[in-house]
Amino acid sequence: MNPLSGPAVRPNILEMTPYSPGKPIDEVKRELGLDRVVKLASNENPLGPSPKAIEAIAEAAKSLHIYPDGSSYNLRHKLSERFDLPMNQVIVGNGSDELLHLIGLLFLDGPNDNIIVGYPSFSRYDASAHLANAELIRVPLDGDYVHDLQAMADAVNEHTRLVYVANPNNPTGTIVTKAEFDAFLDRIPERVMVILDEAYFEFAADQSEYPNSIDYVKAGRNVIGMRTFSKAYGLAGIRLGYAFVPDYICDAIDRAREPFNVNLLAQAAGVAAIGDDEYVARTVAVNREGLDRLNAAFEKVGAKPVKSFANFVFADLGQPAKPIFEALLKEGVITRSGHVLGAPNCLRVSIGTPDEMDYFIEKLFKVMNVSPVGEAVAAASR
C-alpha cells in the first residue's frame, strides 16, 4: 500500500506480483532440515556452463577493475557472424528479461495501448504492460496447451502495440509451426510488433516445421526474435540474452538501455560459448533422454505429460498440483507448481542429470502412491 504521506508509488506498480523464482537449494535444506535437495524448477542446464565459457570468464576476471565495452562489440560481432545478420540488427542485454523490459519501454505509452499474450506463458511479458500502465490481453492456450494464434490475431485491435509468442512456450514446452506462424503474421498489422521468444530454440531447432525468427527479421517483417545463453549454454547465473531486430530498434534500444548493461564476464562468456557447438549438442542429447524418462514416469502415475520441445515437462496431474509440489519439496525435490503458472492442476519439471532424474522419479512415485518404487523407477528408465 502507498504511505499516508510522502510521494506515492504509481498504483499500477503496486498491482504487480513480484516474480517468484524456484526456491534455492540451500533455503530448502535449511527450512526442511534435508541433506540432499534436487532443484528441477528453473529449467537450468544440468551439465553446468559451457567449458569454453568458464575458461573465458577466468581470463576476463583479471580485468574486473575496467568497465566493460559499453557497446558489447565483440559479442555482437560474434553473433552477427554466427547468424549472418548486420550488427545493427543484433542487440544484447542483461538476460532476455532486460530486453523484454526495454521493448516495453519503446512501444508502450499508457492505458490507450495494449499487449497480447498467450496464457499461461512467461510472466514477464505481463510486466511490460503493468509497468507502462497499458492493457494486458491474455488469450488462453488451446486444448493442447499450444498458443491459439487465430484467437490471438482476432484479439488485435487499433490499440495493440505488441504481441508475444513464446516458441517453445514456457511453461508448457509446446510449439507453433512455421505454417501456423506465417498465417498468423499475415493477419497482424505492420504497426504491431511481434516478439517471437525463442529462449529454448536449441532444443526445438531440429524440428522441420519449427519457425526461425531470423528468417522473418531478414525478410523485413515486424518481428523481434529473442534468445538466451541461460538454457542451452548453461549461463543462467551470468545473465545474458540477445535479440534479432529491425535496425531502427537497435538504435532505440541504445538510447533507452543502461550504460554497460552487459557486464565484462558475460560478454567474454558469450563470445566463447556461442562457438561451443559440441557442448550444445551434448546438452540437447541429454535433454532428449530426460524428456523420455519424465514422460514415462508421469504416464505411470496417471498424469498426462504435454509433448515438450524445451528442457522441461509440463504434466496435467488431474488434481491440484500444489499438494504434490509440497510433498515433493519435503522429499527434497524442488519443482514448479502450476498454481503459480496459471494451470493449477499441472506440474512443471526441468530435465536434470540421470541421477537427478532417478531421484525425482523415486520421490514422484512415493508421493503419488505408486509402488513398488524400485520396479517403477526401472520401468521409467526404459
| Domains, the chain, ordered by start | 11-47+285-381 (3.90.1150.10), 51-273 (3.40.640.10)
Q: What is the pLDDT of residue 121?
A: 96
Distance in angstroms (rounded) separating the CA atoms of residues 351 and 335: 11
Q: Where are the beta strands (DSSP E) in the chain?
A: 38-39, 90-93, 114-119, 135-140, 160-166, 193-197, 223-228, 241-244, 304-305, 312-316, 333-334, 336-337, 346-350
How many CB atoms sit inside 10 A of residue 11's CB? 9
Quote the cell numbers at residue 248.
Answer: 531502427
pTM beyond 0.85, yes or no = yes
Tell how strand 312-316 and strand 346-350 pair up. antiparallel
Q: What is the pLDDT of residue 372?
A: 53
Average pLDDT, the chain: 94
SS3 354: helix
Q: Are 163 and 188 in contact (CB under 8 A)?
A: yes
Quote the cell numbers at residue 203.
Answer: 532444443
Q: What is the pLDDT of residue 35?
A: 86
Q: What is the pLDDT of residue 1?
A: 62
Distance in angstroms (rounded) separating the CA atoms of residues 317 and 357: 18
Long-range contacts of 317-325 (CB under 8 A, 24+ apart): 317/345, 317/346, 317/347, 318/345, 319/345, 320/344, 320/345, 321/345, 321/346, 321/347, 324/367, 324/368
Give me the average pLDDT of each 10-residue run along the chain (382 residues).
76 80 81 90 96 97 97 98 97 96 96 97 93 96 97 98 98 98 98 98 97 98 98 97 96 94 98 96 97 97 97 97 96 94 95 96 94 53 50
Treating both helix axes as pointing N-terminal to C-terminal, what angle do 51-60 and 264-273 enclose, rounded to 10 degrees? 150
Quote the cell numbers at residue 131.
Answer: 509497468
Burial 247-276 (b: 16+ CB within 10 A, else e): eebbebbeeebeeebbbbbbbbbbbbbbeb
Q: Are 283 and 132 in contact (CB under 8 A)?
A: no
Q: What is the DSSP letter of 70?
A: T
- Residue 241's Cβ-side half-sphere holds a number of Cα atoms within 13 Å equal to 20
Q: What is the pLDDT of residue 16?
A: 80
SS3 193: strand
Tell how strand 193-197 and strand 223-228 pair up. parallel
Q: What is the DSSP letter of 340?
A: G
